Amino acid sequence: MMRRKNGNKHYFTGMGTRKKVHAFVRVKPTDDFAHEMIKYGDDNKSIDIHLKKDLQRGVVNNKQTDWSFKLDGVLHNASQDLVYETVAKDLVAQALDGYNGTIMCYGQTGAGKTYTMTGATENYKHRGILPRALQQVFRMIEERPTHAITVRVSYLEIYNESLFDLLSTLPYVGPSVTPMTIVENPQGVFIKGLSVHLTNQEEDAFSLLFEGETNRIIASHTMNKNSSRSHCIFTIYVEAHSRTLSDEKYVTSKINLVDLAGSERLGKSGSEGRMLKEATYINKSLSFLEQAIIALGDQKRDHIPFRQSKLTHALKDSLGGNCNMVLLTNIYGEAAQLEETLSSLRFASRMKLVTTEPAINEKYDAERMVKNLEKELALLKQELAIHDSLANRTFVNYDPMDEIQIAEINSQVRRYLEGTLDEIDIINLRQIQEVFNQFRVVLSQQEQEVESTLRRKYTLIDKNDFAAISAVQKAGLMDVEGHLVGEPDGQSFGLGVTPFSTKPGKKPKSKKMFKEQLGSLGRKEGAGSPVSGKDLEVSISKTQATPSSKEGDVKDLPLRDRETSSSEPLPLDSPKEEWRPPRPSTPPPKPVAFEDFKNERGSEINRIFKENKSILNERRKRASETTQRINAIKQEMDLTKEALNFQKSIREKQGEYENKGLMIIDEEEFLLILKLKDLKKQYRAEYQDLRDLRAEIQYCQHLVDQCRHRLLTEFDIWYNESFFIPDDMQVSLKPGSSIRPGMVPVSRLVSLGEDDQDKFNQLQQRVLPEGPDSISFYNAKVKTEQKRNYLKTMMGLQQAHRK
Ligand code: ADP
Ligand code: MG
Alpha-carbon torsion angle 307, 311, 317, 319, nearest 10 = -110
How high is the pLDDT of residue 662?
56
Q: φ, ψ for residue 557 (rounded to 5)?
A: -60, 150
Distance of CA 325 to the CA centre of its chain: 40
Our answer on whether the CB atom of 329 is closer than 6 Å to any ligand 1 atom is no
Positions in the chain whose pLDDT score sits under 50 = 1-15, 176, 268, 475-580, 727-757, 759-783
From CA 172, how far away is CA 220, in angstroms rounded? 11
Q: Do the annotations mark residue 109 as ligand-binding?
A: yes
Our answer on whether the CB atom of 14 is closer than 6 Å to any ligand 1 atom is no
From CA 24, how far away is CA 349, in angstroms rounded? 9
Q: State the ligand closest to the CA atom of 113.
A: 1
Q: How many CB atoms lie within 10 A of CB 654?
A: 8
Q: 3-state DSSP call for residue 608? A: helix
Distance of CA 526 to the CA centre of its chain: 39
Our answer on whether the CB atom of 77 is closer than 6 Å to any ligand 1 atom is no
Our answer on whether the CB atom of 330 is closer than 6 Å to any ligand 1 atom is yes
Our answer on whether the CB atom of 128 is closer than 6 Å to any ligand 1 atom is no
Q: State the ligand closest to the CA atom of 28.
A: 1
How high is the pLDDT of residue 355?
78
How high is the pLDDT of residue 364?
81
DSSP 249: E
735-769, pLDDT tens digit by residue?
443 333 333 333 333 333 344 445 444 444 444 44
Closest ligand 1 atom to Cα of 113: 3
Contact 6, 356 (CB under 8 A): no
Closest ligand 1 atom to Cα of 115: 6
Backbone Cα Rg of the chain: 47
Contact 278, 266 (CB under 8 A): yes
Angle at 623 between CA 674 and CA 421, to 5 degrees: 100
Q: Give the residue among 717, 678, 694 at the shortest CA–CA distance from 574.
A: 717
Q: 3-state DSSP call for residue 172? A: coil
CA 117 to ligand 2 center in whole angstroms = 9
How high is the pLDDT of residue 88?
97
Q: Give the residue among 151, 111, 127 at the shortest CA–CA distance from 30.
A: 111
From CA 201, how far away is CA 103, in angstroms rounded? 22
Contact 525, 770 (CB under 8 A): no
CA 28 to ligand 1 center in whole angstroms = 7
- 585-623 burial string, b = 16+ CB within 10 Å, else e? eebbbbbbbbebbbeebbebbbebbbbbbebbbebbeeb
From CA 743, how far away is CA 721, in angstroms rounded? 13
Q: Do the annotations mark residue 107 as ligand-binding?
A: yes
Contact 530, 793 (CB under 8 A): yes
From CA 172, how far away is CA 219, in angstroms rounded? 8
CA 156 to ligand 2 center in whole angstroms = 15
Our answer on whether the CB atom of 110 is closer than 6 Å to any ligand 1 atom is yes
Q: What is the 3-state secondary structure (H, E, C) of 10-68?
A: CCECCCCCCEECEEEEEEECCCCECCCCEEECCCCCEEEEECCHHHHCCCCCCCCCEEE
**Long-range residue pairs from 338-342, CB within 8 A, at least 24 positions apart, any chain:** 338/34, 338/37, 338/49, 338/51, 338/55, 338/59, 339/59, 339/60, 340/108, 340/263, 340/264, 340/265, 341/38, 341/49, 341/108, 342/49, 342/60, 342/67
CA 118 to ligand 1 center in whole angstroms = 10
Strand partners, 450: none
From 24, 26, 28, 232, the mutation candidate for ligand 1 (largest count of ligand atoms within 8 A of CB) is 28
Q: Do the annotations mark residue 23 as ligand-binding?
A: no
Contact 215, 156 (CB under 8 A): no
Q: How many CB atoms lie within 10 A of CB 298?
A: 13
Q: Do the annotations mark residue 174 as ligand-binding?
A: no
How high is the pLDDT of residue 740?
38
Closest ligand 1 atom to Cα of 80: 23
CA 134 to ligand 1 center in whole angstroms = 21
Our answer on whether the CB atom of 112 is closer than 6 Å to any ligand 1 atom is yes
Q: Do the annotations mark residue 431 as ligand-binding?
A: no
Q: Do the annotations mark residue 108 as ligand-binding?
A: yes
Our answer on whether the CB atom of 114 is closer than 6 Å to any ligand 1 atom is yes
From CA 510, how far away is CA 516, in angstroms rounded? 10
CA 691 to ligand 1 center in whole angstroms = 103
Alpha-carbon torsion angle 92, 94, 99, 100, nearest 10 = -10
What is the value of pTM for the model shown?
0.52
**Packing angle, helices 403-418 and 429-460, rounded to 10:** 60
How high is the pLDDT of residue 285?
87
Strand partners, 355: 20
Our answer on whether the CB atom of 107 is closer than 6 Å to any ligand 1 atom is yes
Q: Tell me the domains of the chain and their CATH numbers.
A: 19-51+64-364 (3.40.850.10), 366-457 (no CATH), 587-723 (1.10.287)
Q: State the ligand closest to the CA atom of 232.
A: 2
Question: Which residue lies with its CA nearest to atom 25 of ligand 1?
Answer: 29
From CA 68, how far away is CA 507, in angstroms rounded? 89
Q: Give the residue among 595, 536, 562, 554 at the shortest CA–CA distance from 709.
A: 554
From CA 7, how far away is CA 5, in angstroms rounded? 6
Closest ligand 1 atom to Cα of 111: 3
CA 253 to ligand 2 center in whole angstroms = 26
CA 112 to ligand 2 center in whole angstroms = 7
**Length of the chain (residues):** 803
Closest ligand 1 atom to Cα of 108: 3
Q: Give the residue among 166, 328, 316, 330 at the shortest CA–CA distance from 232.
A: 166
Provide CB contacts within 8 A for 660, sequence distance 6+: none
Q: State the ligand closest to the CA atom of 110.
A: 1
Our answer on whether the CB atom of 769 is closer than 6 Å to any ligand 1 atom is no
Closest ligand 1 atom to Cα of 107: 3
Detail the DSSP E strand segments found in 116-248. Answer: 147-159, 162-165, 181-185, 188-192, 197-198, 231-242
Distance of CA 303 to the CA centre of its chain: 30
Q: 3-state DSSP call for residue 179? A: coil
CA 111 to ligand 1 center in whole angstroms = 6
